[in-house]
Amino acid sequence: MDGTYVEGLGNVRIAEEVLATIVATAAMEVSGVVALIPRSGPDIKGLLSKKVPARNVRVTEQEGQVTIELNINVQFGKKLQEVALELQTAVKKAVESMTGMTVEAVHVYIANVVTVEEPAPAEEAPVEEETAEEAAEEIEEVEEIPAEPELPVLEEPTEPESTGTSFFGNAFKV
């Protein structure tokens, strides 16, 4: 990925991983996108990369035009076309506004529809009001901790009675 710009002060190059991170971040902010999943196909660079966005997003540039490909899982119940369109729009806007590059296309492959469990709303526990007198009574009921706790007495170790050989041929006592 070259992404070269000449602005009179020098060249600016944007790494593919940077573009992939921008794409992944924008994509995960879209409602209905559950996950970006690794793209399929022979891409050794993506398999060896430790950077997750680079593995899940393919960005290519030709003559200043950027093409983006990503595979996603969509939340069950969402309208697939709407999620895909919102995703394309969000990714294009993010890349163009942050880099100044022109996005030619955003190809979205919906790999799966998955159910997402919503976290249960936390129930508020009833708060019991306690008077100062009740709190004082509870404090009086607490037993004092002894200053020096008694420690158990350990017995002297005994000698093993027989020897054997381990799996590796080492002698040991049983």
| CATH number of residue 39's parent domain | 3.30.70.1350
Q: Is residue 128 part of a domain?
A: no
Stated length of the chain: 174
Q: Is residue 19 part of a domain?
A: yes
Q: Is residue 88 part of a domain?
A: yes
Number of domains in the chain: 1
Q: Report the alpha-carbon distance of residue 108 to residue 68 in Å, rounded.
A: 8
- pLDDT(131) > 90: no
CA distances from 1 to 32, 53, 62, 111, 118 (A): 30, 15, 9, 26, 39
Q: Is residue 137 part of a domain?
A: no
Q: Is residue 42 part of a domain?
A: yes
- pLDDT(113) > 80: yes
pLDDT in tens, 63-80: 878 999 999 999 999 999
Q: Using pLDDT thresholds of 50, 70 and 90, give the confidence band for residue 44.
A: very low
- pLDDT(46) > 50: no
Q: Is residue 35 part of a domain?
A: yes
pLDDT in tens, 94-111: 999 999 899 999 999 999
Position 10 scores a pLDDT of 79
Domain membership of residue 88 as a residue range: 15-114
Q: Is residue 144 part of a domain?
A: no
Q: Is residue 135 part of a domain?
A: no
